[in-house]
Amino acid sequence: MPYISQSFIDDLPNQIDIVDLISKRLSLKKTGSDYRAPCPFHGGKNRNFAVNSHKQFYHCFKCGESGGAISFVQKFDNLDFVEAIEVIAGEFGLKIEYDSNTKPVDPRLERYRDLSKEVSEFYIQQLRNSPAKEKAVSYAKNRGISGEIAKRFELGFATPSNNDLLIEFEKSEQDTSDLKSLGLFKTGQYGDYDFFRDRLMFPIHNTKGKVIAFGGRAFDNKAKAKYLNSSESPIFSKSRELYGLYQARKYSRTMDYVLVVEGYMDVVALHQADFTKVVATLGTATTPEHLQILARTTNTIVFCFDGDNAGRAAAWKALKIALPIIKAGLVIKFLFLPDGEDPDTLVKKESTKAFEARIEKAHTLSKFLFDHVKAEVDFDTIEGKTLFLEKVSVLINQVNYEIYQQQLIDGVAQVVGQSVDQVQTIFKQQAEQVISTSFDTIPVIDNEPQMPDFSDFSDDYQAPNPTPKENSAVKALMSRMIGLLLNYPVLADGTVEVRVRNIKRSEVLLELVRSAQMDENISQENLIKPFQNKSGIYDRLQELCRLVPHLSETQAKDEFLSALTAAEKRQESAKIKAEIFSADTLEAQQKIMEGIQKGKSR
């Protein structure tokens, strides 16, 4: 297989403008010699992300992400090195130069994709030939899925056996190792076993149609986990992939809108009804990365949710994530289904034409925003209107697209019956008063205060007590870890429990870790339920539940472990200071310092 020549790679930055490249993905604003935007990688709201056209370079002053055009497209579009170059070349009309003597950057990635394709073919064969296939075939038929649509999505069947996939690939040590890396094999008390068992299988494709992961749907609606996804891997990140996007692009004449639904079966069933412009998130809430991908695909994004409280709560989360991402030409709408209906049943009950009408009449973002906040307050009172203004001001101030932000302010003025100038004044005052409580504002302090040298000690030396700043930092670290765990219970494991147990005043976090270990799919409500009788703690946990860190599981794990390590360092530092302070003589203090220096030199 030929690979891209190094000379073409080296010259690529000279043939493109990184500002043009990134502006297709982010709403950039000229600031001095740079172009600025909120960082797409750490999910902040401030314009910390700078793009320099002269240097062909980007940098986030908050999280430190930086690089050139290829690096940006790799991270933002979730592509490997070669795919990123091909995308850039395609966008700028450049002909790629290949060199058959050039080696691939990371041979694992191509190997993983090839192996995933083989696994997909294995599942397809099981759907055709397995003696246990009847339940899978019956399920698909009962859902009205034709052979043509099953083939379009490459549907398959994971048999009830613990090791059918394992037996298929066990002859190759490399394949076995790779399938463990992809999360398709797990290791238990009695050895290796298949992760997916007794499920209808949905291969997950990247934008080029390559299989990168799998989703499995249980046949029993009462199953503990109705849907399972592959774990994240070097070729798969749930926060950056959308199920059905490849098929939507392939089978749709135009992409004038994209309907975002909740499950794989919704996507497949809507294709059966000839609605092809439809995608689903992969068992996770909508992320900024999802919205950015969709915004490059279409000018109208329609979120489709159940009309119950859970559906509206999910829609509200999507709205809040969308606010900083809205740009010129992008329209975001919300379609709420009648109680007890999903897209599939509604299309069958009404008609294709009626469902199209529902999509056309879906609520605009502004209508959903105003209606939702109004429902939370007693709007017919002065106090209710005041609270309405406070709530919407916080949200509208997150909008970076200035024209749309002004239109929302005009809309608020109409809703509350005040002048635009009055509303703008209130918004400005509120922006100055509000202290953001997002994870971006909770510092993780990695740089510990330096311990004093021997020369710092004198006979009247006094070890300082912890300062309010130090106490605040410890509380911030604890809040960060708790907030991450509430959103990602899968972070809890035995190692984490042992480390947390050794941190003082970590009782709340430790209790949460233990609960999450027992059930990694536990809901936030059940996770914090044991604290209901402790009103102060319970209220704080509810606040942290509302803070959604827009991270992949891998990023969340890195953040959590970073905060845990920082907390351990602070505790160790405090312990050393206490030992120094309790030392009776200067000689004893010096011995403690010598021990510290020896520890550092090891």
Q: What CATH number does the domain containing 586 carry?
A: 1.10.860
**Tokens 């991450």 belong to which residue?**
484
Asked if 122 and 92 touch (Cβ cutoff 8 Å), the reply is no
| The pLDDT of residue 472 | 62
Same domain, 425 and 347: no
| The pLDDT of residue 442 | 37
Same domain, 424 and 462: no
Provide the token pair at 531.
């604290």
Query: How many Å apart are CA 123 and CA 117, to the nearest integer?
Result: 10
Same domain, 552 and 575: yes
**Quick check: 349 pLDDT over 80?**
yes
| The pLDDT of residue 453 | 31
Query: How many Å apart are CA 30 and CA 19, to the nearest integer?
Result: 10
Find the angle CA(124)-CA(130)-CA(133) to the nearest 5 degrees. Answer: 85
| The pLDDT of residue 273 | 93
Query: What's the average model confidence in pLDDT over 221-250?
Result: 88
pLDDT in tens, 580-600: 656 555 566 566 555 555 544
pLDDT in tens, 199-230: 999 999 988 889 999 999 999 877 778 889 99
In a domain, 438, yes or no: no
Query: How many Å apart are CA 350 and CA 128, to the nearest integer?
Result: 33
Name the domain count of the chain: 5
Residue 403 has phi, psi (to 5 degrees) of -65, -45
Query: How many Å apart are CA 231 and CA 183, to the nearest integer?
Result: 5
| The pLDDT of residue 600 | 44
**Quick check: 143 pLDDT over 50?**
yes
Same domain, 311 and 339: yes
| The pLDDT of residue 440 | 41
Query: What's the average model confidence in pLDDT over 333-343?
Result: 92
Same domain, 284 and 220: no
Provide the token pair at 526.
């059940």
In a domain, 248, yes or no: no
Q: Work out the number of other CB atoms within 10 angstroms of the CB of residue 281.
A: 20
Closest among 201, 176, 204, 206 to 191, alpha carbons compared: 176
Helix, strand or coil, per DSSP, at residue 553:
helix
Asked if 351 and 429 touch (Cβ cutoff 8 Å), the reply is no
Q: What is the largest CA-CA distance in the chain?
A: 88
Closest among 348, 187, 184, 329 to 256, alpha carbons compared: 329
Of 52-61, 86-95, 570-579, the poorest mean pLDDT is in 570-579
**C-alpha count within 13 angstroms, C-beta hemisphere, residue 274:** 7
In a domain, 527, yes or no: yes
**Quick check: 95 pLDDT over 50?**
yes
Same domain, 466 and 596: yes
In a domain, 244, yes or no: no
Asked if 144 and 348 touch (Cβ cutoff 8 Å), the reply is yes
Same domain, 428 and 555: no
Find the angle CA(258)-CA(260)-CA(265) to the nearest 5 degrees. Answer: 115
Query: What's the average model confidence in pLDDT over 523-528?
Result: 83
| The pLDDT of residue 510 | 87
User: Which CATH number is 118's domain given?
Assistant: 3.90.980.10
Same domain, 424 and 459: no
User: Which CATH number is 33's domain given?
Assistant: 3.90.580.10
Same domain, 386 and 485: no
**Quick check: 90 pLDDT over 60?**
yes
**Quick check: 14 pLDDT over 50?**
yes
| The pLDDT of residue 436 | 37
In a domain, 327, yes or no: yes
Higher pLDDT, residue 315 or 55: 315
Same domain, 490 and 590: yes
Asked if 390 and 362 touch (Cβ cutoff 8 Å), the reply is no
427: containing domain: 377-433
| The pLDDT of residue 560 | 86
pTM of the model: 0.61
Higher pLDDT, residue 393 or 445: 393
Same domain, 69 and 186: no
Of 381-390, 486-495, 570-579, the poorest mean pLDDT is in 570-579
In a domain, 590, yes or no: yes
Asked if 122 and 165 touch (Cβ cutoff 8 Å), the reply is yes
Asked if 238 and 282 touch (Cβ cutoff 8 Å), the reply is yes
User: Which CATH number is 301's domain given?
Assistant: 3.40.1360.10
